Chains A and B, each alone.
Chain A
Amino acid sequence: MSFPWARHYEPKVPFMRYLDEKLPLPRLIYNAIGAGYPVPRNLNYFWNFGVLAGFCLVLQIVTGIVLAMHYAPNAGIAFASTEHIMRDVNWGWMLRYAHANGASMFFVVIYLHIFRGFFYGSYKAPREMVWLLGVVIFLLLMATGFLGYVLPWGQMSFWGAKVITGLFGAIPLVGEPIQIWLLGGYAPDNAALNRFFSLHYLLPFVIAGVVILHIWALHIPGSSNPTGVEVKSESDTVPFHPYYTAKDGFGLGVFLIIYFTLVFFLPNYLGHADNYIEANPLSTPAHIVPEWYFWPFYAILRAFTIDFILPAKLWGVLAMFSSILVWFFLPWLDKSPVRSGHYRPLFRKFFWFGLIPAMLVLFWCGGAPAEEPYVMFSQIATAYYFLHFLVILPILSWLERPEPLPFSITEAVLGEDNKAVLGENTTPAT
């Protein structure tokens, strides 16, 4: 599918014509990220993060495959093989720092990508499937990030593995057998490390597969845009190439500057010093926290401290998983016909002064020790978080009086849409 004015791929040399008949791969690329994909002309820089996330996935797969050539997933030598990579392997230090900080940058990019979706209503029809697949990718990404953090087999790796698999132990009746089954033992050891490595290598390719579905689903309605008004005519779009390849190229340059600043000057800034101590099943580090990208969810987990019908531990686990699962229902919780937060005065207020501060508080509390006042702060923020999605968004949908939408993207950009005046754009406004 595409808009009727989309450019068509025309192979220029005989070989490309031959290839186009037998295996139209260049045509696929042309229509996906080339001149054959018409994109709204008014995308802002928040629309860069999809391409950047794709770049991060490639970066992580390439550096990861290379690291796996030197890493040994055996509890006896995993820690030593990580140090071997850092000290002996040619460029090993750079590849490992690139992979570890690449994971952090991946989450930075993905969080901004998700928040772009929250604010501009990207999850709404006709793009629900794009959103649902995106949530699946995010869950897979979290699993992959966690599994990868266990592999160096330092103290944080070990205790992270113990705590996260312990979450399954909270399930009534079957919890403990499940935890033992997941670990292949009573505590993380060689069996767990080996399967974690196997899955850490597998999941990125599963992610790549879901990413293809995500992009496929996106290309059916085409990209959304900051006004949330659907494309009506050719003057609303520009071809992806060269306009957005150039803009994404610029964004990539900015991304790389920040990324390599981390890799070369602050490679351990986002890590924990305790992970340079080999795993010790008999000694827990004094302050154990997950990687920064799990902090909001870790804060939600720890926000539940009182048994209420169910044990507090189970409430925490349920809330933590629900905090992401609620995203799956977002397209049906937010019923407002107006897509973009730009034209929704109330939604905008709750977004900037409700959801964003709540998430920041959760971030902050997740990395802080489990003591007051952080527990109370995370309880308040957790309450708001669920209130926002489950109560505020549905109520806003019918309470709010949205601001007037521009007739078309062209009008939003140029102040007028001549073709619309002439009655050439007959598609009704969305």
Chain B
Amino acid sequence: MATTTGTAQPEALGPEGQLGEGVRRRDFINIAAVAAAGVGGAATLVPLISQMAPSKDVLAESTTELDISAIEPGMAVKAVFRKQPVFVRNLTNAEIAAAEAVPVDSLRDPQSLRERTKEGHGSILVTMGVCTHLGCVPLGAGEGENKGEFGGYFCPCHGSHYDTAGRIRKGPAPANLEVPAYAFATDTTIVIGQESA
């Protein structure tokens, strides 16, 4: 504060109003008050910012349980996980062979089919139905939909082609379709959204 001159100093503090070592009581009160107001003001930002994060009812929908027993080889289903589509595909032997035949090193996002499935359930491919380019829903999970040049998924927005393992093979998308965290609760049920059942 620039205007502390011209007013009486408390007499108990001596002629200079010193609290020893050149610190005036007024400076101390000023710094303490501004610091308390600053910290208090900053603390109010916590609820104001935090209220925009997902609320408890949204978080309660953070896992999706799915019965996969009815998915025949060659078929896929669409499920909803956190308000986004998930594709669960039961691969045929031919599709598995096609995916394993591709040299992993030649891929844009190198990953083998084995890395994208769970041990003991090598034919079940669970991926998000969200194109890694700009978030459209690729075609290929539904009956009669365009599966693209590599027999997996095809995104109609900007022409990204995914293969039978959901890996990006052609088009603008930078990465493979995301495999969400999921686990087998039983042999025929998966829980999407958590790593272990």
Residues of A within 8 A of B (CB): 35, 62, 66, 69-70, 84, 87-92, 94-95, 239, 241-242, 246, 249
Q: Once the chains are docked, how many angstroms separate the CA of A90 from the CA of B48?
A: 9
Which residues of B from 53 to 74 have beta carbons under 8 Å from A?
Answer: 53, 55-58
Residues of B within 8 A of A (CB): 1-4, 33, 37, 46-48, 50-53, 55-58
- Asked whether, in the complex, the Cβ of B51 is within 8 Å of the Cβ of A84, the reply is no
- Asked whether, in the complex, the Cβ of A89 is within 8 Å of the Cβ of B51, the reply is yes
B51 touches which of A35, A70, A87, A249 (Cβ 8 Å): A70
* Complex contacts, A242 vs chain B, CB 8 Å: 1, 3-4
Could you list 22 examples of A-B contacts with CB < 8 Å?
A35-B3, A69-B52, A84-B55, A87-B56, A88-B55, A88-B57, A88-B58, A89-B55, A90-B50, A90-B51, A90-B53, A90-B56, A91-B46, A91-B47, A91-B50, A91-B51, A92-B51, A95-B47, A242-B1, A242-B4, A246-B33, A249-B37
Q: Once the chains are docked, how many angstroms separate the CA of A70 from the CA of B56?
A: 13
Q: In angstroms, how far is the closest chain A Cβ from the Cβ of B165?
A: 39
Chain A interface, >50% SS class: helix
- For A249, give the chain B residue with the smallest CB separation: B33
> Known contacts being A35-B3, A62-B48, A242-B3, is A90 close to B55, with CB within 8 Å?
yes
Q: Once the chains are docked, how many angstroms separate the CA of A246 from the CA of B51?
A: 32
Q: Once the chains are docked, how many angstroms separate the CA of A239 from the CA of B53?
A: 44
Q: Once the chains are docked, how many angstroms separate the CA of A249 from the CA of B56?
A: 37
Q: Once the chains are docked, how many angstroms separate the CA of A69 from the CA of B46?
A: 16
* Complex contacts, A69 vs chain B, CB 8 Å: 51-52
A90 touches which of B1, B2, B3, B47 (Cβ 8 Å): B47
* Complex contacts, A241 vs chain B, CB 8 Å: 3
Q: Once the chains are docked, how many angstroms separate the CA of A88 from the CA of B60?
A: 10
B55 touches which of A66, A70, A246, A249 (Cβ 8 Å): A70
* Complex contacts, B48 vs chain A, CB 8 Å: 62, 66, 95
- For B57, give the chain A residue with the smallest CB separation: A88
Q: In angstroms, how far is the closest chain A Cβ from the Cβ of B87?
A: 30
- Asked whether, in the complex, the Cβ of A84 is within 8 Å of the Cβ of B47, the reply is no
Query: With contacts A66-B48, A89-B56, A90-B51 known, what are 9 further pairs, Cβ within 8 A?
Result: A69-B52, A90-B47, A90-B50, A90-B53, A90-B56, A91-B47, A95-B47, A239-B3, A242-B4
Q: In angstroms, how far is the closest chain B Cβ from the Cβ of A240?
A: 11
